[in-house]
Structure 1
């Protein structure tokens, strides 16, 4: 098997709100859209995102009423401190401020209008011996 792309599909209440959030603040562009559906992409290594309206008939019956929850959409990035400042300046609420974990992971989180948690991660250089 050879995987040629990765996509995460998120079921949300308001497709337009999440679509606007990801295109305005996170650099995604629309690949395709229809009523209750949007396909978003970026030109870098970020995963593509498909947004589906909760209750849509194209989903199997047992999945139609589920929401994207218990999920963290994580992006490894560079210049994480600048990214946090940029998003904050754009009016995006930082729902978990930048912090550094003992194992060297620096991270912060934002949350889109539908409750999708987006986490940014940068690995700190190991301390010199």
Structure 2
């Protein structure tokens, strides 16, 4: 198998609100749209996104009434401080402020409509442990 693209499909209550979030704040553009459906893309390495309205018959019957949950959408970038500042200035809810993990991961998280968490990550060289 050779994968030529990757797409994450999110089941959401309000396709239009979710689409606005990803296009307004995260630089996605609409590739296609119809009632209860939107396909979003970017011109870089980000995964494409398909938004499906909860209850749509395209989904298997056991999944139609579920919505995206327990999901963290992670994007690796540079200039993390500037991105957090920009998103805050645009009124995006910051779920977790900028922090640095010991393993060298700097990150913050924002909340998309209906609770989808978007994590923005920048990798740095972790500090060497101090010798005693």
Q: CA deviation at 1:126?
A: 3.9
What is the DSSP-based 3-state SS (H/G/I as helix, E as strand, rest coil) of the residue aligned with 2:122? strand
What is the DSSP-based 3-state SS (H/G/I as helix, E as strand, rest coil) of the residue aligned with 1:85? helix
Q: CA deviation at 1:125?
A: 2.7
* TM-score, reference length from structure 1: 0.96
Whether the aligned pair in 2 keeps the contact of 1:17 and 1:114 (CA below 8 Å) is no
Separation (CA, whole Å) in 2 of partners of 1:73 and 1:119: 6
Partner of 1:2: 2
Q: What runs of 5+ residues in structure 1 fail to find an aligned partner?
A: none
Partner of 1:90: 90
Partner of 1:71: 71
Q: CA deviation at 1:124?
A: 1.2
What is the DSSP-based 3-state SS (H/G/I as helix, E as strand, rest coil) of the residue aligned with 1:88? helix
Partner of 1:57: 57
Partner of 1:20: 20
Partner of 2:36: 36
Rg (Cα) greater in structure = 2
* TM-score, reference length from structure 2: 0.94
Q: CA RMSD in A?
A: 1.2
Q: What runs of 5+ residues in structure 2 fail to find an aligned partner?
A: none
